[in-house]
Amino acid sequence: MGDIRKEIRFVLNGGDVSLSDVAASDTLLDFLRIDRRLTGTKEGCAEGDCGACTVLVGRLVGEGIRYETVNACIRFLASLDGCHVVTVEHLSGVDGQLHPVQQAMVEHHGSQCGFCTPGFVMSLYALWMEAPNPSVCQIETALQGNLCRCTGYAPIIRAALAISEHGNPGSDWLNTEREMMVKRLASINDGKRVEVARGADRAIIPANAADLAAVLAEHPKATVVAGATDVGLWVTKFLRDISPAVFIGNLSDLKQIDCTDNRIRIGAGVTYSECEDVLGENFPHLVEFWKRIAGWQVRNMGTVGGNVANGSPIGDTPPVLIALGAQVTLQSRKGTRTLPIEDYFIDYGKQDRKPGEFVAWIDIPTCEQGTVHAAYKISKRRDEDISSVCAAFNVMVVDGRIIHARIAFGGMAATPKRASNAELRLIGKVWSEASFVEAARILGEDFTPLTDWRASADYRLRVAQNLFRRFYLENSDQAEPVRLIQA
Amino acid sequence: MKDTVSIHGSTGTDLHHESAVKHVTGRAGYTDDIPEPIGTLHGYLGISDVAHARITAIDLDDVRSAPGVVDVLLADDMPGSNDVSPTHLHDEPVLAKDRVEFWGQAIFCVIATSRDAARRAAELARISYEELSHALDPVAAIEADYPHVTAPLQLKNGDAEAALAGAEHRITGRMTVGGQDHLYLEGHIAFAMPGEDEDVIIYSSTQNPTEVQHMVAHVLGVQSNAVVVNVRRCGGGFGGKETQMNQFAALAAVAAKKLNRAVKIRPDRDDDMSSTGKRHDFVVDYDVSFDGNGVIQGMQGNFMARCGYSSDLSGPVTDRALFHADNAYYYPNVLLRSRPMKTNTVSNTAFRGFGGPQGVIIAERIMEEIGYFLGKDSLEIRKANFYGKTDRNVTPYHQTVGDCIISELVQELEGSSDYATRRQSVLDYNARGGIIRKGIALTPVKFGISFTATWYNQAGALIHVYSDGSIHLNHGGIEMGQGLNTKVSQVVADAFQVDVGTIKITQTTTEKVPNTSATAASSGADLNGMAALNAAETIKERLVQFAVEEWGVTAGEVAFLPNTVQVGSEQFTFAEFVNKAYFARVQMSATGFYKTPEIHWDRDTGTGHPFYYYAYGAAVSEVSVDTLTGENQVERTDILHDVGRSLNPALDLGQVEGAFIQGMGWLTTEELWWDDRGQLRTHAPSTYKIPLASDRPREFNVRLVDWSENHKPTIKRSKAVGEPPFMLGISVFEALSMAVASVADYRECPRLDAPATPERVLMAVERLREGTA
């Protein structure tokens, strides 16, 4: 392979950065704070949960740039090749004039200890660029990944509602200079494979999916990194060696979303945020559910492909995908193979992915006529929490009778898994509360959940059973609401 | 001439936090942001992975040979004392030597050329243990005959036993109240720079620089005058940095002196949470008697606390739980006992409220119990038991409550929140029998202000007025987000009648103000504001004397007007006047001092006057609960809170809002969970869930009482605000309980334990339903 670039290139605020001495495990946060002394970006948790390290990363999408909030603590430096990184230091004007977001935060007393504040400023900045006059609900969604321990959030919400009184996004630097930045990023995105290393610690960015297959053929034990929202913690929390790591998050042929009449195809590099709209349009039951997967920063980084590939028993998307009858396609240099998603999860920590293979895409069949769908996430905290129980229902009802049921749970077993016995119990029954209560009663035959810090085994089973009732009730005419309404 | 109508930033105005612009631009410096000198080294702690064991061997060969490692410190490497016990009970080794008593206890500290290298090296230790049996909670500790970590307290008034025995109605119960991690966004950090002789300079994120100074001196075996501790600001403290920084500071200092290099120690969040103390969990047995109107006759409470392996601040924390077990209610016959139990868990410490919330919630549980027992709204029971103004006003510690405004405050809140109508709507809604149930509760708080360790109630300040009229201000308090520096600046601006921009507060340092107390107990502005005012008054007196001598006027003819000094018929700008004073050789630097008057406390007899005054507040919260899952949300909260005459209403509102949410988190989603082996498994924000923006009440109305002023001559008649509103979160907890109770038609008190996670809520719903069926 002669055509390999031996350095990563990106734009940091206004300046170009080229680096060859980069380890796979180097994080953007350490680079900013230690190498560049840009100390406005803070480390609060080093696991993508507090948002104190929030920065914007812009990357070329079509003719433009998509800027998104990310957690710098778990974002690997090598994955920034071809991107534009914007930190809090870049918001104020050259004359020191505060940015509209900053003005609003000062005016409304949005900071107390100030440590989380730069992260909030960056999340609100990204929101304001997208929605200059956001609703409270939009603000809360944008701030799902930002913790503040002092203010109780009320003054921050007031600030967020007032940003546009201080300026409009059209005159913001990221918009006025976007054309120039598109050219700048285009010039560094040369389509080559990139390899950088520090000693034996290596990072590889393949040129495309075919090149990825070639890289994995050569390094079958390589760590495949898409959004790094899981692998990031392997490094920051478990100090694991991930070298050689292959970064696939920016491969355009893995970032495709392709819709036909009977299926939606989600490429393995597609983030939760990128497929949010298309999934919401095709599967209305996922609209609310999707916004409860992690926080905004993590949805901007993490991929559905990664959520499937790593096989976590508590991932949010596998139960949903199983219930929908989705299929996963694995690719290697030998070609591709496709299997139902539930067959991919063999056991705890064990998936049906052979050396040299990678998850290429996921096909989700569109909803059939007569099917009723739901996806539920139960967690200690409403937003940005890991499920204690996740449930997805896909039930076909014809002439008042259940003729087909796919019901899958997360958090109830060593893998995401279907409730096969309960499904069988439902099939052929009339669409009634009694049918669902009866099916739920035998859920203990399908699952023996564990007790851990998220929930006890008793609660998991009980709530899973109750969700059968909820599913029926909210899909039948009820005088009273059966779920909380987040006003 | 400047506008002379009024100064900018006087007390009572909504001045912005002095660092607000720096916060939003990322230019506010925290300890980890300080540029590191060449050769700076980094320490990382090696911690135990057993809860209780004898150490049989420590093999650090792989640690020492790991890349970048410079040195490894062990217990015997402490030049002075291997102890950082803040109570001087010598029960808290810097590094464990022969025995570990909780999972996460530090055994060694590796020093390396980078933090990453030190952290990776620390993983390579091979430590052999002979494991011993452990007790993780206070009940298990009592069963295992574990000792108290410090002497228990008893508060007694009247004859509780007789009042209970002869009662018309009597309820006994047990409540488990969970602890809480501080989750300050900036974790612990210490940065030590060696100086000449025995000197060392420490930068640390601490609420208590004097304590760091003492502990570092103690561990180094040097005098306090060799140690300087500097703190510009903390990224949150909440009590978690009152003593818990000692270990990190001491180790950084020892390594810095030993290696003659700057040394920084910053644990990862997981280790910060595993290895530093938290709010005390309590198990409380209560026994209460009352008449048909719910008026309490006798009350007995046994407060068993998870203190962890050492005393730390568990003595005063468990004391304060008893001090607040009355909340706002008169107990004519009362006997309260604390059981500060040793457990094989991290040593618990200060946390906003300092044991007070755990006492208050028991008082509120009792009100709730009586309400369900008598079939009444618990608010009626509360009102029947409020402290009186002239009688029924003696606390279990025999202090007379002389400033009680809780009745008026609650009455106003009932009206402004439309409580009665909304409670009826909730009852009507629940009567429809749906899946979603609602609850509403009004809970009050009365909180005693002053350190119960009387000697802590002192503060110092230092003011320099420079010859250009600018003012340099220092005090002993720590700015950790609460706006202390802003408030103290406002006090000094008022005193000199200069715009607040004239005043600069620099980092808190033990070099400028000695012998300070922790910035804690909500006392920061009370103590340091008064000390700063005292310093300002000293300088003003000298300036007046100068004017009298220079212009031949009487003292009464000298006036400090906004940015102007009036001398007889002449006017000068403040700067002009000060400049003249300089040339006349007037000393324009002064220290200030303050000690809280009137307070005293005799722990042996359980009597005294430990609190200078009380702060009051109340909240009404309405919640919705999904009875299929236990999921819930707060629909609306109305708060009315007493801060006396506010020094800065905007900052005080921020404290009230923030404290409420933190209190709500304590009682709802924030759950500490240890596994059977004693490892804390909720040790980072991924597993430990503090409230998010979307957890705020859907409607949140917060007001300060506009008619209250402190009846004591505190700074500008204000009241402390940091801790009291924390307990307003109890309104959410009790509202959740009411929603649960609705499934059994309110016949039974659901007796929720805290935190009321969705799991606890659902399980209570199911339990009550089964009891009904």
For an interface test with A, the pick among B15, B23, B699, B732 (most A C-beta atoms closer than 10 Å) comes out as B23
Mean pLDDT of chain B: 97
Query: Which residues on A lie below 8 Å from B32 (Cβ)?
Result: 33, 39, 43
Banded pLDDT at B773 (limits 50, 70, 90):
low
For A438-466, write each residue's pLDDT tens digit. 999 999 999 999 999 999 999 999 999 99
Contact state of B481 with A114 under an 8 Å Cβ cutoff: yes
B230 has pLDDT over 60? yes
Strands across the sheet containing B200-204: B69-73, B106-112, B41-47, B263-265, B190-194, B200-204, B227-231, B508-509
Residue B751 pLDDT greater than 90, yes or no: yes
- Quote the pLDDT of residue A92: 87
* Among B275, B293, B310, residue at a domain's last position: B275
**Does residue B123 have an active-site annotation?**
no
Contact across the interface for A116 and B187, Cβ inside 8 Å: no
Residues 256-295 of B with CB under 8 A from A: 268-270
Closest CA to A407 of A421, A418, A396: A418
CB-closest option in A30, A116, A383 to B185:
A116
Q: How many angstroms separate the CA of residue A144 from the nearest CA in chain B?
A: 7
The reply to whether B432 and B538 lie within a common domain is no
All structural domains of chain A, each given as residue ranges with its CATH number in brackets, are 4-89+178-247 (3.10.20.30), 100-171 (1.10.150.120), 257-365 (3.30.465.10), 371-474 (3.30.390.50)
- The beta-strand segments (E) located in B606-663 are 607-609, 613-626, 632-641
Predicted confidence (pLDDT) per residue in A49-71, tens digit: 999 999 999 999 989 999 999 99
In angstroms, the CA B480 to CA B18 distance is: 12
Residue B343 domain-assigned? Answer: yes
B259 shares its domain with B306:
no
Domain of residue B444: give its range. 281-452+603-772
> In 3D, which of A295, A366, A384, A284 has the Cα closest to residue A325?
A366
Note whether B235 contacts A378, CB cutoff 8 Å. Answer: no
Q: How far is CA B610 from CA A228, B320, B397, B450, B598, in A?
A: 54, 10, 9, 7, 9
Cα-based distances in Å from B55 to A400, B62, B97, B309, B485: 68, 18, 7, 16, 46
- Residue after which a domain boundary falls, among B242, B257, B275: B275
Interchain CB distance below 8 Å, A117 and B23 = yes
Kindly state whether residue B468 falls inside one of the protein's structural domains.
yes
B342-401 pLDDT, tens digit each: 999 999 999 999 999 999 999 999 999 999 999 999 999 999 999 999 999 999 999 999
B179 interfaces chain A, CB cutoff of 8 Å: no
**Interchain contact, B685 vs A45, CB within 8 Å:** yes
Mean pLDDT of B477-484: 97
Label residue B546 by pLDDT band (50, 70, 90).
very high
In chain B, what percentage of residues exceed pLDDT 90? 98
Any A CB within 8 A of B29 CB: yes
Q: What is the ipTM of this complex?
A: 0.97
B112 and B82 in a common domain = yes
Give the one of A110, A115, A466 whose C-beta lies nearest to B629's C-beta. A466
In a domain, B153, yes or no: no
Asked if the Cβ–Cβ distance from A151 to B658 is below 8 Å, we say yes
Q: Do B657 and A151 touch (CB under 8 A)?
A: yes
* CB-CB under 8 Å, B269 with A47: yes
Q: Does B481 touch chain A (CB under 8 A)?
A: yes
Q: Which residues of A touch B436 (CB under 8 A)?
A: 480-484
Report how many domains make up chain B: 3
Do B438 and B482 lie in a common domain? no
Question: Minimum mean pLDDT among A475-484, B277-286, B331-340, B705-714: which range?
Answer: A475-484
| Domain edge (last residue) among B549, B572, B595 | B595
Same domain, B630 and B505: no
Q: pLDDT per residue over B639-697, tens digit each?
A: 999 999 999 999 999 999 999 999 999 999 999 999 999 999 999 999 999 999 999 99
Residue B763 has pLDDT above 80, yes or no: yes
Query: Is the CB of B700 inside 8 Å of chain A's CB atoms?
Result: yes
Same-domain status, B673 and B766: yes
Residue B28 contacts A where some CB pair is shorter than 8 Å: yes
What are the pLDDT digits (tens) for B591-603? 999 999 999 999 9
Provide mean pLDDT across the span B232-250: 98
**B256-284 residues labelled b (16+ CB within 10 A) or e (exposed):** bbbbebbbbbbbbbbbbbbbbbbbbbbbb
Do A484 and B632 form a contact (C-beta atoms < 8 A)? yes
**Chain B from 32 to 91: CB within 8 A of any A CB:** 32-33, 35
Q: Tell me what percent of chain A is helix, strand and coil, each rounded to the nearest 5.
A: 35, 25, 40
CATH classification of the domain holding B48: 3.90.1170.50
- Write out chain B residues lying below 8 Å of A92, CB-based: 25
Q: Which residues of A118-136 are buried (b: 16+ CB within 10 A; e: fewer)?
A: bbbbbbbbbbbbeeeebeb
What is the rounded distance in angstroms from the CA atom of residue B733 to the CA atom of residue B756?
Answer: 7
pLDDT higher than 50, residue B2: no
Calpha distance A393→A371 (Å, rounded) = 10
The verdict on residue B271 lying in a domain is yes
In a domain, B169, yes or no: no
Interface touch B695/A382, C-beta < 8 Å? yes
Which of A44, A155, A481 is facing B436, going by the closest CB pair?
A: A481
- Same domain, yes or no, for B524 and B437? no
Check CB contact of B736 with chain A, cutoff 8 Å.
Answer: no
Per-residue pLDDT tens, chain A, 487 aa: give them. Answer: 458 999 999 999 999 999 999 999 999 999 999 999 999 999 999 999 999 999 999 999 989 999 999 999 999 999 999 999 999 999 987 788 999 999 999 999 999 999 999 999 999 999 999 999 999 999 999 999 999 999 999 999 999 999 999 999 999 999 999 999 999 999 999 999 999 999 999 999 999 999 999 999 999 999 999 999 999 999 999 999 999 999 999 999 999 999 999 999 999 999 999 999 999 999 999 999 999 999 999 999 999 999 999 999 999 999 999 999 999 999 999 999 999 999 999 999 999 999 999 999 999 999 999 999 999 999 999 999 999 999 999 999 999 999 999 999 999 999 999 999 999 999 999 999 999 999 999 999 999 999 999 999 999 999 999 999 999 999 998 888 999 987 6
- Give the pLDDT score at A2: 56
Which residues, listed in sequence order, are joined to residue B595 by a DSSP beta bridge? B458
The reported pLDDT for the residue numbered A294 is: 97
- Across the interface, whether the CB atoms of B27 and A143 are under 8 A apart is answered no
Instruction: Say which CATH number the domain at B700 has.
Output: 3.30.365.10
The answer to whether the Cβ–Cβ distance between B25 and A40 falls below 8 Å is yes
B682 chain-A contacts, CB cut-off 8 A: 453
Number of neighbours of residue B673 by Cβ within 10 angstroms = 16
Query: For B268, which DSSP code?
Result: -
From the list B723, B734, B766, B770, the catalytic residue is: B723
Query: Is residue B152 in some structural domain?
Result: no
Contact call for residues B366 and B175 (beta carbons, < 8 A): no
Is B24–A117 a contact, with Cβ atoms under 8 angstroms apart?
yes
Nearest chain A alpha carbon to B269 = A45
Residues of A in contact with B24 (CB under 8 A): 98, 101-102, 105-106, 110-111, 117-118, 121
Model pLDDT, residue B88 = 87
**Residues B607, B732 within the same domain:** yes
Residue B186 lies in a domain: no
- Shared domain for B436 and B477, answered yes or no, is no
**Residue B598 zone, left/alpha/beta (φ > 0; ψ -120 to 50; rest):** left
Q: In what order do the strands lie in the sheet with B503-505?
A: B503-505, B471-475, B458-465, B589-595
Closest Cα of chain B to A263: distance in Å?
33
Residue B163 lies in a domain: no
Please tell me whether residues B53 and B128 are part of one structural domain.
Answer: yes
Cα angle B722, B727, B732 (rounded to 5 degrees) comes to 135
Place of tokens 């005016």: A107
Partner residue opposite A152 with nearest CB, options B35, B182, B661:
B661
Number of A to B CB contacts under 8 A, please give it.
Answer: 271
- Residue B407: count of CB within 10 angstroms of its CB: 17
Give the gap in angstroms from C-alpha B762 to the nearest C-alpha of chain A: 8
* Residues sharing a CB contact under 8 Å with residue B477, sequence separation 6 or more, in sequence order: B459, B484, B485, B488, B508, B516, B519, B524, B525, B527, B528
- On whether both B221 and B353 belong to a single domain, the answer is no
Are residues B255 and B364 located together in one domain of the fold?
A: no
Window B:635-674, CB contacts with A under 8 Å: 635, 650-651, 653-654, 657-662, 669, 671, 673
Query: pLDDT at position B610, please?
Result: 97
| Contact call for B435 and A111, based on CB within 8 A | no
pTM, full prediction: 0.98
